[in-house]
Amino acid sequence: MELLERDADLRVLDRALADAGSGSGSVVLVGGEAGIGKTRLVQAFEQRHHDDARVLWGACDDLSTPRTLGPFHDLALQVGGALERAVVEGERGAVFDAALEAISGGTSPSAVVIEDVHWADGATLDVLKYLGRRIDRLPATLILTYREEEVPADHPLMLVIGDLPVSAVHRLSLESLSKAAVARLAADYAGSTERLFTVTRGNPFLVTEALLTSAGDVPVNVRDAVRTRASRLSPSARAVAEFLAVVPNQAELWLLEALSGFDVDALDECRDRGLIEYDASHVKYRHELVRGAMEESLPPGRRRALNALVLEALIERGSDVARIVHHARRAEDGSAIARYAPTAAREASTASAHREALAHFRIAVEYRADLPLRDEAQLLTDYAVECYFANEAVEGLVAAERAVELWVQIGDGIRHGDTLRWISRLHWWLGHGEQAIATGRAAIDALGSARGSKELAMAYSNLAQVFMLAQQAQPAEEWATKAISLARRIDDQNTLAHALNNLGSTRLRTGDTAGVALLEESLDIARRERFDDHVGRAYANLLWTALDYRRYDDAQRYAEDGLAYARNRELAGNMYYLTAERARLGFECGRWDQALKDVRWVLAQPEEPGITQMPALATLARLSVRRGDQDVEQVLDRAWRLVEPTGELQRMAPVAIAGAELAWLRSDPDRITPPILDTYRLAVAARQPWTVDEFAFWMWRAGADVESPAGSETPFAKQMSGDWREAADAWQAIGCPYERAVALMESEEPQDLLEALDILDGLGAGPAAGKLRTRLRRRGVRGVPRGVRRATKAHPAGLTGRQAEVLDLLAEGLTNSEIAERLYVSPKTVDHHVSAVLAKLGVSSRGEAATVARERGIV
């Protein structure tokens, strides 16, 4: 069919390819409804550039659970080499590197077409994000087609697109054909072109279907059109059409050999009827809509039987396990599901396609009854581990506990102990500190007969980690040392990197700065061996301890290096956690806007690990206290409810201190001690210098008779001893402007107090500035600044920081309830903010507010 009304779209693709030829690649998103002509457009583009570009094609399949790296398997068949090896092995880092090399190679620019990315698996999306982040420096264009109606705002594809450089993304949303274009295509059509346009709504595919039916007969849907055409097929051709209808995307020609009595003439007849296309190796329906309509028209029994034929052929050929599982499910073959779904799950997990891996495991466990006992136990164990990686810890705990029962029944102490170790980790992830320790000890007991094993070494290190996170230094040191000794003896680099991290973190948190060397060694091993999870942990703990010791230059370096590594390897969990830590860095250094931006980004992630919310919410709580947000008590309460069950000092301390600071700012000293007393005892037991001093400082604020540990040189200790000037200077040298201002507030000199006020106003620290203004006025100091917050004064509409946040989200189209959930406040609080925003903008509705804000460049 003639390609009409697509010239402008083709020009966008042409320009993108020309830019790629100059080394400035881009991503072109080709969206539209099913049948709108996305593939036809890209095919026309390929024909235009047959001689001046290398065009590679891959496709995502409409399988019950997508093939892991499906389109990159297609690309690998075209380019071979490193990409072919990498996708077979499934190691994500190798796939990243090989895919980048594959699309960058060649003497002419590459156009890489990935069709139907709305069906992409998680690993494929990771690779596309990896390539998309670098595409503006490559001689390549990524062309991604997708159905817009199948990609809502929370679809994983939208998250990938949101992370791509805006300047390197072009969007094409294909429109339906005009009435004139439909009339031109239907020049020889005997029926009413007016009705043809009305019924098809200008959808090119539906127009084509109508023109392929009998004259004047406009089908009301695809199924009717396909039925009409299929009814004219001979029995042998109809058998081919039905067989191919149960195979998504495309089928190998050899697959048709499973069909009794197959002959090529039947294939040609299907092509002549406009149903299928084929070449020397593959056959596929002309459009996925045609295939889907044909499949839907099959009686259920016939559909199951055809899937069983396909399944048998795929198994005989040793085909992709995701395809095998798809047809096993459609054939309702429980034994095949039990046999192949675990393999598909493990392959997906290796490629970090955790969403797909978990889907396969969930299918497999439904059909585990016929498995041998050992296979069932291993399946449940692997399922539990995948739940951990997919952030489904509760589900994983149930599976792991059942697996332990089976390992005990089997009498396999190693597997029993190793599964208990994972249960310990799952308990910690859920905030069950005591259970994490208890099951960690049980794991070591179960592995007592496995002396010299990697499982025992990792069990030692796991317990060290649990104690380290609980800041119980003595047992953490003991178990980490055991793990390191055994790991070195048996050359277990995985456990060695893990245990060095635990020991280094433990020592740092008790004041032994030599622990940095152990953490750096852990990082070196993890990077060398490509243990991505350990690399992320090393950066996270180096950054955290640098923050604990107020070494902000080191913290900034670890944040930048760690985030660069996480982005480079597309390690989402590490990006979330390190960004949460960077928010704390910005908060403590007075970069509150940046801190708030990082906090909001972390809390807005739909799949962020629960543990990541804790530091992000803790920073939000402290920021809300210092800014004087109306909803501060709600934020504090939510943060405390999240961290309190962990029993961990590192989680609880910042939230408890935020509560104490709130009481001080409200001039209510009797309420300073209650939020911090229990956590203060934890800090004293942990012997972490800066944390102990900070808690002691707030106890001192409340009038308690406390002292810093002997020899302490922190600014907290200096201020408690009465040397507020030295404390203020120390805070300035360290880089904490708010703390410097608070120390200066101890002065009796007006110039010191006015300097403190200037700092607080500059930060937007309204409560502390108000407290200081009251003191200055009571002393009769003249010339006290009026005190409009700079952030508010600088805002084009005079909005406060929180009001500006609400306006941003309002302009995105979020409801009050959705805004409340995003900001961790109540809908009632959002109602107040929205009312204030409307009043300051001088409008009467949310829609008007969004329009005015955009016109004035406020959002």
> In which band, very low, low, confident or very high, does the pLDDT at 474 lie, cut at 50, 70 and 90?
very high
What is d(CA 725, CA 744) in angstroms, rounded to the nearest whole number?
7
Burial class (CB in 10 A: 0-12, 13-18, 19+), 182: buried
Q: Please name the residues in contact with 707: beta carbons below 8 A apart, sequence gap of 6 or more.
A: 696, 720
Using alpha carbons, list the distances in angstroms from residue 488 to 82, 126, 454, 532, 534: 33, 34, 11, 20, 17
Residue 332 has pLDDT above 90, yes or no: yes
Average pLDDT for 721-745: 95
Residue 35 has pLDDT above 70, yes or no: yes
Average pLDDT for 172-183: 93
Residue 792 has pLDDT above 70, yes or no: no
The pLDDT of residue 447 is 95
pTM: 0.74
The pLDDT of residue 213 is 65
SS3 label, residue 87:
helix
What is d(CA 479, CA 461) in angstroms, rounded to the nearest whole number?
6
The pLDDT of residue 393 is 87
The pLDDT of residue 221 is 64
Lookup result for tokens 């339906």: 176
SS3 label, residue 56:
strand
Residue 532 has pLDDT above 90, yes or no: no
Give 617-667 pLDDT, tens digit per residue.
999 999 999 999 989 999 999 999 988 888 888 899 999 999 999 999 999
The pLDDT of residue 40 is 93
Q: Determine the distance from the C-alpha atom of residue 469 to the mean position of all C-alpha atoms in its chain, rounded to a whole number.
A: 24
For the chain, the average pLDDT equals 89
Residue 794 has pLDDT above 80, yes or no: no
Q: Determine the distance from the C-alpha atom of residue 674 to the mean position of all C-alpha atoms in its chain, rounded to a whole number.
A: 37
Give 75-126 pLDDT, tens digit per residue.
999 999 999 999 988 888 889 999 999 998 778 999 999 999 999 999 999 9
User: In the chain, pLDDT over 70 holds for what percent of residues?
Assistant: 96
Residue 446 has pLDDT above 90, yes or no: yes
Give 185-200 pLDDT, tens digit per residue.
888 777 788 888 887 8
Q: Determine the distance from the C-alpha atom of residue 510 to the mean position of all C-alpha atoms in its chain, rounded to a whole number.
A: 33
- Single out the residue of 125, 124, 103, 118 nearest to residue 23, CA to CA: 103
Average pLDDT for 764-782: 90
What is d(CA 706, CA 721) in angstroms, rounded to the nearest whole number?
10
The pLDDT of residue 570 is 75
Torsion 673-677-679-685 (CA) sign? positive
What is d(CA 276, CA 733) in angstroms, rounded to the nearest whole number?
74
SS3 label, residue 809:
helix
**SS3 sequence of 576-627:** HHHHHHHHHHHHHCCCHHHHHHHHHHHHHCCCCCHHHHHHHHHHHHHHHHHH
Residue 228 has pLDDT above 70, yes or no: yes
**1 CB neighbour count, 10 Å cutoff:** 11
What is d(CA 538, CA 69) in angstroms, rounded to the nearest whole number?
29
The pLDDT of residue 234 is 93
Amino acid at 382: D
Out of 209-218, 245-254, 385-394, 665-674, pick the least confident.
Answer: 209-218
Average pLDDT for 329-338: 94
The pLDDT of residue 574 is 87
Average pLDDT for 691-710: 84
> In which band, very low, low, confident or very high, does the pLDDT at 340 lie, cut at 50, 70 and 90?
very high
| Helix, strand counts (H, E) of the chain | 45, 8
The pLDDT of residue 607 is 56
The pLDDT of residue 427 is 92
> In which band, very low, low, confident or very high, does the pLDDT at 219 lie, cut at 50, 70 and 90?
low
> In which band, very low, low, confident or very high, does the pLDDT at 292 lie, cut at 50, 70 and 90?
confident
**614 CB neighbour count, 10 Å cutoff:** 23
Q: What angle do CA 64, 70, 73 make, to 5 degrees?
A: 150
> In which band, very low, low, confident or very high, does the pLDDT at 717 lie, cut at 50, 70 and 90?
very high
Question: Based on C-alpha coordinates, what's the Rg of the chain?
Answer: 32
Q: For the chain, how many residues are written?
A: 859
Using alpha carbons, list the distances in angstroms from residue 380 to 41, 338, 420, 688: 47, 12, 13, 40
The pLDDT of residue 787 is 63
Lookup result for tokens 């990609």: 151
> In which band, very low, low, confident or very high, does the pLDDT at 433 lie, cut at 50, 70 and 90?
confident
Q: In what order do the strands lie in the sheet with 110-115?
A: 54-59, 110-115, 140-147, 26-32, 169-173
Token digits of residue 206: 């539906």
Query: Which residue would you say has higher pLDDT here, 22 or 784?
Result: 22
Average pLDDT for 282-291: 87
Out of 509-513, 525-529, 581-585, 591-595, pick the least confident.
Answer: 509-513
Q: What angle do CA 404, 405, 407 make, to 5 degrees?
A: 60
The pLDDT of residue 19 is 95
Give 807-859 pLDDT, tens digit per residue.
988 888 888 888 877 776 667 667 767 887 887 887 878 888 888 887 777 77
Residue 134 has pLDDT above 60, yes or no: yes
Q: Please name the residues in contact with 17: beta carbons below 8 A apart, sequence gap of 6 or more.
A: 45, 49, 53, 109, 111, 141
